[in-house]
C-alpha cells in the first residue's frame, strides 16, 4: 500500500475559475486509509535515517518522533 499522497495540482481549477465556486475543496477523491499522509516539503525525505536523533540547531524544538513506531 502506498502511504504517501501527492497533492493534486490546483484541484479546484485554475485561479479565478468558477468551477467549484460554492463547494469546499476536498483533499482526496477516495477515503483515507490507515497510515496515509501527504508528502511535506518541511520534513526529512527519509525519516528512518533521522529517527531518534535530536536536532543540532540552537533553539530548535524537540522532534515529534513516536517511540513506539519504527517506520515512517
pLDDT tens-digit profile, the chain (72 residues): 467 777 666 666 667 777 766 776 666 777 878 888 777 767 666 666 767 777 778 887 777 666 666 655
Q: 69 lies in a domain? A: no
Q: 53 lies in a domain? A: yes
Domain containing residue 12? 1-24+32-63
- Predicted local distance difference test score (pLDDT) of residue 43: 67
- Predicted local distance difference test score (pLDDT) of residue 30: 79
Q: 19 lies in a domain? A: yes
Q: 70 lies in a domain? A: no
Q: 56 lies in a domain? A: yes
Q: 7 lies in a domain? A: yes
- Predicted local distance difference test score (pLDDT) of residue 1: 44
Q: How many domains does the chain have?
A: 1
Q: Let me know: does 5 contact 36? Beta carbons within 8 Å.
A: yes
Amino acid at each position: 500500500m502506498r502511504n504517501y499522497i501527492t497533492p493534486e495540482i490546483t484541484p479546484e481549477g485554475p485561479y479565478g475559475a468558477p468551477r467549484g465556486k460554492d463547494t469546499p475543496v476536498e483533499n482526496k477523491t477516495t477515503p483515507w486509509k490507515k497510515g496515509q499522509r501527504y508528502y511535506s516539503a518541511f520534513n526529512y525525505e527519509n525519516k528512518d535515517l533521522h529517527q531518534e536523533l535530536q536536532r543540532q540547531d540552537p533553539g530548535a524544538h524537540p522532534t515529534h518522533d513516536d517511540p513506539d513506531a519504527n517506520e515512517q
